[in-house]
């Protein structure tokens, strides 16, 4: 039996250890707003038999169909009160299994595989993929499984099945599937018809389902975001936009400054490591080209579309960094010095940053924003009442109220108001639909339409971030104060006419 660093079971031990290590982050309660949108859609399917958000109204409020179904199953098995932790553990396991498959694609040494699994697994985007409740753990696993079983082991069933599941998870995965297709043609000099069939079935399935069930071709979330955030920019404005935002995409750390030298260092390091590796005559170059080109293409496409949401960049960030990890692991001389310096000056600071970020943001989301929803759930017993707010995650989920969100992710009617009069769509929606509750970042009585709000609404309660920066644990309190997370809100209730 092989033992020590040559033990082929090492990568599997690394999977178990990495999952257990990351489960500590569940204690931070850092869960993304959009996860609660998906979970409410899943529970709406349970309660009304309709994929929607507000009762029996059909709407593709979630960006992912497959993850909605998985969330639905977890709700059925564990119940609405207890499904979140099992689902987050499931996501973490799936992502880590994906890194195991990735290690099989690009490394041979069992110790190197184990180290890659752990080092990749504790990167900030990997932690967020695992514990924030969104569909990217599932997606990463499916993408790596397709590469491993379909393109490394040449299983035709994998070339058909996985593209279908990948597209049903997110339609923008066509970028990944397209890059893989082009790189494969260049390398293999042939067309894999099984792969084309899988992509065709997946694309037809998602388009047909959207059309026949929702009456649309692409998900409502895409339409709503394009309507709200789309804008014409000059070339100079596009350049300025890129300079302001790129640091939050390639650098893995979301920093407030426009210029982030850390991002430049990481980017140059990744490129140099990739060039060094692909110059070697290794079979793994086939997969390195796939993941590295995809990382660049995905980031550039989404930046060009003014996509500010950081979860679009998690998987590309990880895949772009893979060559750097390989380079460190495969140093021939002073390898442990290289690895030690890498861990000491990069991995530990990144892990520390993400720990602080997760604790602070978890406090702002779970301990603060969730309390708004819980207050409304207790205050308003009639769950057929409507609330107008933004965003549509925590508060609608925990309040149980029917919801109009400012962007139109969960309600199509407000999109029509945006099209008719973008400047006044908020007040027009209030006048037309008369929601019982309004949740606003500012004082509605001081707006230009303040007289209307004063006549028809009263301030029910103020919610302030500063009231949630205390803890019996002095270390936690210091973190909360160091990085306060959340937004002040005013909650208004309609006065009976």
Secondary element (H or E) of residue 405: strand 402-405
Please state the rounded mean pLDDT for residues 241-269. Answer: 69
Closest CA to 364 of 399, 387, 391, 401: 391
Q: What is the pLDDT of residues 220-229, one digit of tens each?
A: 888 888 877 7
- Tokens linked to 298: 């995905």
**396/388 Cα distance (integer angstroms):** 10
Q: What is the pLDDT of residues 125-147, one digit of tens each?
A: 999 999 999 999 999 999 999 99
Task: Please list, in sequence order, all residues whose beta carbon lies within 8 angstroms of the beta carbon of residue 69, skipping any fewer than 6 positions away.
Answer: 42
What Cα–Cα distance (Å) separates residue 269 from each residue in 276, 309, 325, 454?
11, 25, 10, 57
Alpha helices in 251-311 (DSSP H): 261-278, 285-304
Pairing of strands 402-405, 386-389: parallel
What Cα–Cα distance (Å) separates residue 233 from each residue in 170, 240, 244?
27, 10, 14
What Cα–Cα distance (Å) separates residue 116 from each residue in 132, 183, 291, 296, 432?
22, 24, 15, 21, 56
pTM: 0.94
What values do phi and psi take at 358, rounded to 5? Answer: -65, -40
Choose from 13-22, 56-65, 411-420 the range with maximum mean pLDDT: 13-22
- Tokens linked to 470: 């205390």
| Structural domain spans, the chain | 4-330, 360-494
How many alpha carbons fall within 13 Å on the CB side of residue 374? 8
Task: Please list, in sequence order, all residues whose beta carbon lies within 8 angstroms of the beta carbon of residue 78, skipping any fewer than 6 positions away.
Answer: 86
Asked if residue 245 has pLDDT above 70, the reply is no
Q: What is the pLDDT of residues 103-126, one digit of tens each?
A: 999 999 999 999 999 999 999 999
Asked if residue 2 has pLDDT above 60, the reply is no
């Amino acid at each position: 039996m092989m033992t020590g660093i040559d033990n082929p079971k090492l990568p599997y031990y690394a999977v178990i250890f990495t999952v257990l290590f990351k489960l500590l982050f569940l204690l931070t309660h850092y869960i993304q707003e959009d996860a609660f949108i998906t979970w409410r859609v899943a529970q709406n399917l349970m309660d009304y038999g309709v994929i929607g958000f507000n009762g029996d109204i059909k709407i593709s409020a979630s960006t992912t169909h497959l993850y909605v179904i998985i969330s639905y199953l977890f709700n059925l098995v564990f119940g609405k009160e207890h499904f979140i932790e099992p689902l987050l553990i499931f996501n973490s396991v799936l992502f880590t299994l994906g890194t195991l498959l990735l290690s099989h694609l690009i490394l041979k040494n069992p110790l190197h595989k184990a180290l890659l699994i752990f080092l990749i697994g504790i990167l900030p985007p990997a932690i967020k993929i695992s514990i924030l409740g969104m569909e990217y753990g599932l997606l990463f696993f499916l993408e790596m499984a397709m590469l491993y079983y379909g393109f490394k082991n040449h299983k035709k069933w994998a070339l058909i099945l996985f593209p279908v599941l990948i597209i049903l998870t997110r339609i923008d995965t066509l970028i990944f599937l397209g890059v893989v297709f082009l790189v494969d043609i260049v390398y293999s000099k042939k067309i894999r018809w099984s792969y084309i069939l899988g992509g065709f079935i997946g694309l037809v399935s998602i388009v047909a389902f959207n059309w026949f069930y929702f009456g649309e071709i692409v998900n409502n979330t895409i339409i709503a975001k394009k309507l709200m955030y789309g804008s014409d920019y000059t070339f100079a404005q596009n350049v300025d936009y890129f300079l302001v935002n790129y640091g939050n995409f390639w650098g893995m750390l979301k920093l407030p400054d426009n210029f982030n030298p850390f991002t430049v260092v990481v980017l140059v390091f990744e490129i140099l490591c990739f060039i060094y590796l692909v110059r070697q005559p290794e079979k793994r170059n086939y997969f390195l080209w796939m993941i590295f080109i995809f990382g660049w293409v995905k980031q550039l496409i989404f930046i060009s579309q003014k996509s500010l949401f950081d979860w679009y960049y998690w998987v590309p960030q990880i895949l772009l960094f893979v060559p750097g990890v390989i380079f460190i692991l495969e140093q021939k001389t002073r390898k442990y010095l290289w690895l030690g310096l890498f861990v000491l000056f990069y991995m530990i600071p990144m892990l520390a940053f993400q720990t602080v970020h997760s604790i602070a943001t978890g406090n702002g989301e779970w301990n603060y924003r969730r309390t708004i929803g819980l207050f409304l759930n207790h205050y308003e017993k009639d769950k057929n009442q409507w609330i107008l707010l933004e965003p549509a995650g925590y508060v609608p989920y925990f309040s149980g109220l029917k919801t109009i969100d400012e962007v139109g992710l969960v309600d199509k009617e407000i999109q029509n108001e945006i099209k008719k009069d973008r400047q006044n769509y908020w007040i027009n929606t209030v006048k037309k639909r008369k929601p019982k509750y309004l949740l606003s970042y500012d004082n509605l009585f001081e707006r230009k339409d303040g007289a209307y709000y004063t006549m028809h609404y009263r301030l029910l309660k103020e919610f302030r971030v500063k009231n949630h920066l205390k803890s019996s644990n002095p270390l936690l309190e210091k973190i909360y104060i160091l990085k306060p997370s959340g937004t002040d809100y005013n909650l208004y209730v309609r006065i009976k006419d």
